[in-house]
Structure 1
Amino acid sequence: MAYNQEPLAETPVIKFNGQDYNSLLDRCLSTGLPFEDETFPAEISSIGLQLVQGKNLSSLRWMRPKDILEGKSEPHFILEGASRFDIQQGKAGDCWFLAALGSLTQNLQQLQKILMDQSFSHQYAGIFRFRFWQCGQWVEVVVDDRLPVLNKECLFVHPRKNNQEFWPCLLEKAYAKFHGSYVNLHYGFLPDALVDLTGGVVTSINPNSIPSDLVMMVKTAVKTGSLMACGTLADPTGEARRMENGLVTQHAYTVTGAERIQYGRGWEDLIRLWNPWGHTEWIGRWSDRSPEWQKIRSQHKRLLYKDKEDGEFWMSCQDFQDNFFCLYICNQCPISLNHRNMPHERWSQMMFKNRATPGNTAEGPLRDMQYIFSVPESMEHDNVITSFNVMPQNLKAKGEFPLTFEVFKVDPQFQPFWKRLPSTFFSQFRNAIEGVVFKTKRNLTKYFSLNPGTYVVVISAYREEVEFLLRILLKMPDGDRNLDSNLNLTPLKASLPESDSQESIFHKYSQQGLYIDATQLQNLLNQEFLKGTSGDTFSLDECRSIVALMDLNTNGRLEEEEFARLWGRLVNCQSVFQIIQKRSGVFLGLDLWKAMTDTDFLAGTSISNELLDLMILRYSDNSGRVSFPSLVCFLLRLEAMAKTFQNLSKDGIGLYLTKMEWMNLVMYN
């Protein structure tokens, strides 16, 4: 079940093919020999016969950048910053990757994660490295800088004229190695590239179904650092073909901006696109040389207009909607392209990596994998997103996504079955919840509009074992906060007052400085740990329970030494709660296992999955949320009961209690 797996944290970078960049670099520098990658050799096998059919292979060479330039100038990795205009597509049909890359150049922080600091001067040894995201982890791919050259021209991405920047060529080579060969980049899916370059979540939009302002939508997406790309419809021939209006069929473009300008007595909505070919532009209204530019204010023309053969052009939003079938937007968390509420959205995310194994169909749902989640409050449409990403080696069937899944609402009578829903659930509730889905070769995303309640994701593999990453994203309430604020459903203080020591706080609330009872503890906890009195506060019953758990002298109150022990645990609980809540915006019952493993005073304590199921039911509310007071009670009680067993057990396996000992234990502690 989902809650029995730890949500993915920051993981070490995986070395593709086990190749360590630093070790290889040191070896090349010590020997003085430039790197030659044996795992992606300078051979036809690394290209693929389909891409060189009909060509004179006798003139095919693998050359390093300095040899390609023939000494006329020095090669550069990046010169005066990386730009989409450094990219020019070659003979591979990988516009889907290059359009995503062109958008990435507008987010320099994200781009730097891919490119890192490299050059052809400092410690040059013919070796370069790049990083791509795959199933929740960053993978570092090492390549040498030998590029395939045919008739003195780069076969694939090549530097533009008068441009000696080779980062796009080398990055494309690394991506080809990542996928097995250049031919495997020949036609693909934009969302796959967007995810590989960012690890983000893709939103798919039909331009013709956008109900509100497209210009504002694009501007909003740019503001959030989103990647944007779009595609034209396929040609009946199955090939990319230049149409009379200058656009190319079955081709990917980068969306680079949008503006609303005054035109005549009205307004015109424009959108700006870039073609990875580096040329071949739109020639309709608002293209580089169209007469519309002569009829607008000079300041608008000065800011927007340029007549260059660089692949970038403006067109009206209406023409965009008429000619493009899909707009993809990728960000670290989903965004709604509605400028009125988008900046205030908060999302909770759960990530689970696993393997799905196909079984006998007669086994039905008993063989399927199940992940349970809760929708806490009623939100607007598309408030839940499920996103799957599968490993490339699981893609043997062309064009067929190797997983299938359904989402069901869990009736209250089945909610005690947190570990696994019984077969009777599926015999009674056969209707899966409908949603809007789009899938590619390696990614599948589905949007749902769900009412509050408990739901289950049921996953099946078609024919072979599939390694996958599942992300469940829940739109959270409190939409009036800005993006930089945390969603504090429990209004926990950021930190405890540094000026107040534990001793001074004890004396501030204690009875004549001698002890603290449950009522005084309630006042202390709600004043010192929580913001104000609204939200989830410590109840008197919870405080009575805490006193009983920490009461070593069994006198119904906490003396200063006992309070000091409690205080250290409360500070630890606060830190654990804040870290988990900050990650997703809300603390759910599914997070109790993570909280337990991260709590210092519970080191070495473990519980069964069955008991964890019961604890989720015991300490979470009907929306699946856990408050800070509930977390404190759970962690303190778990420690007390584990230590009680340890003290009473003679063999560490079992214990014997008299009836009175049992009653004293369970009724007070």
Structure 2
Amino acid sequence: MASSKFRSIESPMKFKDQDYKSLRDACLKSGSLFCDTTFLADQNSIGMPVDPNTDKVTWLRPKEICDNAVFVEGTIGTTDICQGQLGNCWLLAALSCLTMHPELFVKVVSSEQSLTEGYVGIFYFHFWQYGEWVEVVVDDRLPVRGGRLLFSYSRSKNEFWSALVEKAYAKLMGSYSSLKGGNISEGMEDFTGGIAYSQLVSAYKPPVLWRQLTASLSRGTLLSCFIQAKTSREIGTITSEGLVRGHAYAITDTNKIQIDSTEVLLVKLRNPWGFVEYCGPWSDKCKNWKKVAKAEIEKLQLQNMEDGEFWIAVEAFSSLFNMVELCSVKPDSLSSDSDSASSWFLTEYEGSWIPGCSAGGSRKYRRSFWKNPNFKLSLTAADVEGQGDDDDDEDDANRSNPNYQLSMTAADVDGQDYDDEDDANAAAQNQKEKGKKCTLLVELLQRDRRSKNKVQFLHIAFHIYKVENQVGKLDEAFFSSNKPAGRSGKYQAVRGVYNRVLLEPGNYVIIPSTYRPNQPGDFFLRIYAKTGNTLGREKFTCSTNFFMTVMSNPPLPEDQMRVNNWFDQEDVSDDRLDAAAFMRLVNSVLEKDYHLPLETCRQLVLGEDTRGKARLDRTQALKLVTSLRNLQSTFFKHDEDSSGTMSPFELTEALNASGLKCDSEVVKVVWERFGSGEIHLPFHGFVSCVTRLRALHELYESENLEKKKSGLKTWLLRLLAL
């Protein structure tokens, strides 16, 4: 669905249907303090277990913690945010960056709130969530242990805005423990609605890096950085220079000073802990500052105190840090031609990976990759010359690097490029070819993977294919014989992957996918294109209806003989078989590992016109035996791994081969109905699927036209759920 659906900052979605003004007015009228019933002041909201040997956690309001409590003490600054006993430095580093941009900060934290005037214990904050702004209401009861805030706090002990922002974000994610571990880019995007991306520090020479950081800050870009931990054990350890591995730092400023004839380029960082600072050259207590004029020191606002904020020379920064994360609110800051004013067109989509329907996995799984959701791109207006093999364009080269997995999350990505290497080379070559190109800025985000007490990101990526004179659906053959024209890069277990892609004018399709098939998940896709290009959704993968082809196969002579012998030799009353006798007959014909249980045989018998006797005559029994033999052959053919079971995608193809053409919605309901929540379907389940669909189709066809107005698909979906 297009961007018009999504809520703006002026009209945000009300989280949990809570309206701040209505709740505040009700409290003012009753003279009571607000207590949030949707995020209780209890252990469930904290999420993580509490050590019983420590002091008990209590929930107190700011005025119960500090007599002179205020929402904001003076002005907003980076030192207002200090990390508590929660591993959410990624979030607090992003919040520190946000304080450097007042026009962005007020979108998240409204300046009209106070702990004095009109105070009733209720506060609200705005966060960007997958294309729309969300208003989150909280009460001001905060977890306290040993007389101190358990989580985020301000260096000004009587200031509470940062602790309340953290609580609101925890409510949005499910609990405080849901904030443990993450990428800085998540927080940056959720505070601004911008697009975040990563750059390797090693890709720049120090002076070039300093100029890039300076230019980014001047454009209003949020910046942060971290040192990659090589193992999980290294996360949180401190280097000899006083820097923390696997820990997010905010980049808050750049500047330069002159000493004699030497120019020193400096970068200012902030540790969200509020302490533990860099102790190398140009740190707070470094003797080098004695050589600097007092006016220069005042210009840099150097503070010789342990507040987590410090300066570092860009050469040391380049040698010690691995990655810089950037978040640009404006698309022009993401484009290589950002010096020129541009007009961009934004298209946003929501979608899902549904097992057995649209969760096709990576290109490694060729039989199912084409089932993934797809979105059509029509590019007509070229806006840049092809870059060619231009090594000087370092900024552009690094923007095309895929997002990087922050090591402090649960596990590192194994680093494999799951697609064929020649695909990567083809995509890279496409970027290098000269000629007029269209600029696309593409980001794929997986939704709602932070749940209470658990953060579980799927490995995701997107691919873009050129579609030339394509008629009908884009099927397995198309994707097997064509290589991607653009892509996000390696599959990564991060919330979002981003890339800037240059494509020739033409028609394309973009495919978001997880690495493994049948992994359920929701995603959000946003695409920026220069004005003149159009983006729109078109489903190539599934038909929009259901229809059945009558499959009529003559019985085999040996089957006819076996059925007749069975009727002659068995003690068959009035020459008819009940379900139990039919089960014995069928299982004598089918392969041993594919025998049918009694319940399936009952279903088959009741599906025939037995005139109320629930028993089969010879003709009916022979027809079913022939049908089951054919279904067994179909099952053999589409059970590719010979597991004796069928995956959801194998089921789709097997149903088609059986004459049942189902679209994605019908297959999804069929799988839920007959798969019983399992990932694999046995043969008798496949038989039940086919039998039920054929019976429903025949019943529908027997209805009069007046009853058919709702359509076959609607009718099927309703009855399959019964």
After TM superposition, give the deviation of residue 388 of structure 1 in Å.
1.5
Secondary structure of 2:168 counterpart = helix
Secondary structure of 1:213 counterpart = helix
Distance 2:533 2:5 in 1: 16
Secondary structure of 1:183 counterpart = helix
Distance 2:217 2:178 in 1: 30
Paired residue for 2:97? 103
Q: Indicate conservation of the 8 Å contact 2:225/2:248, yes or no.
A: yes
Distance 1:434 1:336 in 2: 20
Paired residue for 1:283? 279
Distance 2:319 2:329 in 1: 29
After TM superposition, give the deviation of residue 31 of structure 1 in Å.
2.0
Q: 1:170 to 1:120 in 2, by over 3 A?
A: same
Pick one of 357, 370, 385 that aligns with 2:441. Answer: 385
Q: Is it true that 1:588 corresponds to 2:533 in the alignment?
A: yes
After TM superposition, give the deviation of residue 158 of structure 1 in Å.
1.9
Paired residue for 1:370? 374
* Match runs of 1:211-610 below 5 Å: 213-234=208-229, 236=231, 237-304=233-300, 305-334=302-331, 341-344=337-340, 346=342, 347-359=344-356, 364-375=368-379, 376-377=381-382, 378-379=384-385, 380=387, 382=400, 383-392=439-448, 398-401=455-458, 403-410=460-467, 412-414=468-470, 421-431=474-484, 433-436=486-489, 439=492, 441-460=494-513, 462-474=517-529, 476=530, 586-590=531-535
Q: 1:334 to 1:205 in 2, by over 3 A?
A: farther
AA of the residue aligned to 2:174: G
AA of the residue aligned to 2:114: S
Distance 2:159 2:444 in 1: 36
Q: Is it true that 1:133 corresponds to 2:186 in the alignment?
A: no
Secondary structure of 1:196 counterpart = helix
After TM superposition, give the deviation of residue 267 of structure 1 in Å.
1.8
Secondary structure of 1:109 counterpart = helix
Paired residue for 1:93? 87
Deviations 1:354-397 (A, max 9, x none): 33323265863552221122453244455433202232158798
Distance 1:159 1:431 in 2: 49
Deviations 1:472-496 (A, max 9, x none): 223x4xxxxxxxxxxxxxxxxxxxx
Q: 1:220 to 1:464 in 2, by over 3 A?
A: same
Deviations 1:481-518 (A, max 9, x none): xxxxxxxxxxxxxxxxxxxxxxxxxxxxxxxxxxxxxx
Q: 1:427 to 1:464 in 2, by over 3 A?
A: closer
Q: TM-score, normalised by structure 1?
A: 0.65
Q: 1:435 to 1:21 in 2, by over 3 A?
A: closer
Q: Indicate conservation of the 8 Å contact 1:402/1:463, yes or no.
A: no
Q: 1:209 to 1:64 in 2, by over 3 A?
A: same
After TM superposition, give the deviation of residue 312 of structure 1 in Å.
0.9
Secondary structure of 2:509 counterpart = strand
Deviations 1:620-646 (A, max 9, x none): xxxxxxxxxxxxxxxxxxxxxxxxxxx
Distance 1:49 1:234 in 2: 24
Deviations 1:186-227 (A, max 9, x none): 221111111111111012111110256222212211221111
- Any unmatched runs of 5+ in structure 1? 477-585, 594-608, 610-669
Q: Is it true that 1:76 corresponds to 2:73 in the alignment?
A: no
Paired residue for 1:528? none
Distance 2:485 2:239 in 1: 43
Q: Indicate conservation of the 8 Å contact 2:444/2:496, yes or no.
A: yes
Q: Indicate conservation of the 8 Å contact 2:109/2:125, yes or no.
A: yes
Distance 2:334 2:195 in 1: 14
After TM superposition, give the deviation of residue 446 of structure 1 in Å.
3.0
Q: CA RMSD in A?
A: 2.9
After TM superposition, give the deviation of residue 47 of structure 1 in Å.
1.1
Pick one of 40, 54, 57 that aligns with 1:56. Answer: 54
Deviations 1:260-295 (A, max 9, x none): 322332222211101111121111000011122222
Distance 2:469 2:191 in 1: 44
Secondary structure of 1:455 counterpart = strand
Q: Indicate conservation of the 8 Å contact 2:370/2:479, yes or no.
A: no
Paired residue for 1:599? none
Q: TM-score, normalised by structure 2?
A: 0.60
Secondary structure of 1:169 counterpart = helix
Q: 1:395 to 1:403 in 2, by over 3 A?
A: farther
The sequence identity of aligned pairs, in percent, is: 32
Q: Indicate conservation of the 8 Å contact 1:439/1:445, yes or no.
A: no
Distance 2:244 2:37 in 1: 37
AA of the residue aligned to 1:408: Y
Distance 2:218 2:180 in 1: 32
Between stretches 305-314 and 249-258, larger displacement belongs to 305-314
After TM superposition, give the deviation of residue 139 of structure 1 in Å.
1.1
Distance 1:389 1:399 in 2: 13
Q: 1:8 to 1:329 in 2, by over 3 A?
A: farther
Distance 1:348 1:295 in 2: 52
Secondary structure of 1:448 counterpart = strand
Distance 2:38 2:250 in 1: 32
Q: 1:374 to 1:590 in 2, by over 3 A?
A: closer
Q: For this pair of structures, how many residues does the alignment match?
A: 470
Q: Indicate conservation of the 8 Å contact 1:192/1:441, yes or no.
A: no
- Any unmatched runs of 5+ in structure 2? 361-365, 388-395, 401-438, 539-543, 545-722
Q: Is it true that 1:47 corresponds to 2:46 in the alignment?
A: yes
Q: 1:78 to 1:308 in 2, by over 3 A?
A: same
Q: Indicate conservation of the 8 Å contact 2:461/2:491, yes or no.
A: no
Which structure would you say has the larger Rg?
2
Q: 1:154 to 1:288 in 2, by over 3 A?
A: same
Between stretches 60-69 and 388-397, larger displacement belongs to 388-397
* Match runs of 1:17-56 below 5 Å: 17-50=16-49, 52-53=50-51, 55-56=53-54
Distance 1:335 1:253 in 2: 25
